[in-house]
Amino acid sequence: MWQNKFKHVHLSLYIFVIVKCRMAHKMESMAKKMFKGILVAELMGVFGAYFLFNKMNTSQDFRQTMSKKFPFILEVYYKAIEQSGMYEIRRQDQEKWMNSKN
């Protein structure tokens, strides 16, 4: 009789361990998917910032568009450029835009 109880407890414990292992595997799989999603989002952000910086760095017309639509982003660009010692870009842009208004 105690052998039947032992088999029942042993079987219950075995099922419990299998269920827990499967749940742990699913959680690990979900964590990997979340990590990959976060990594992809970060990479998209880095490449997007690089593209935006490169476009602003090479096109004065694009900087003018940015000054109208997103002036705070253009200000960040100017501050980054000025940190490297290139103060003339902001001045050149302002001169060109003032001359185009006249």
**Pair of tokens at residue 68:** 């109208």
**pLDDT for 60-101, tens place per residue?**
999 999 999 999 999 999 999 999 898 899 999 999 988 887
Is 90 exceeded by the pLDDT of residue 41?
yes
* The pLDDT value given to residue 66: 94
Instruction: Tell me the pLDDT tens digit for each residue of 2-22.
Output: 444 445 555 566 676 666 666
- In angstroms, the CA 80 to CA 27 distance is 42
- The pLDDT assigned to 28 comes to 72
Mean of per-residue pLDDT scores for the chain:
83
Amino acid 1: pLDDT: 45
Cβ-in-10-Å burial (0-12, 13-18, 19+) of 56 comes to buried
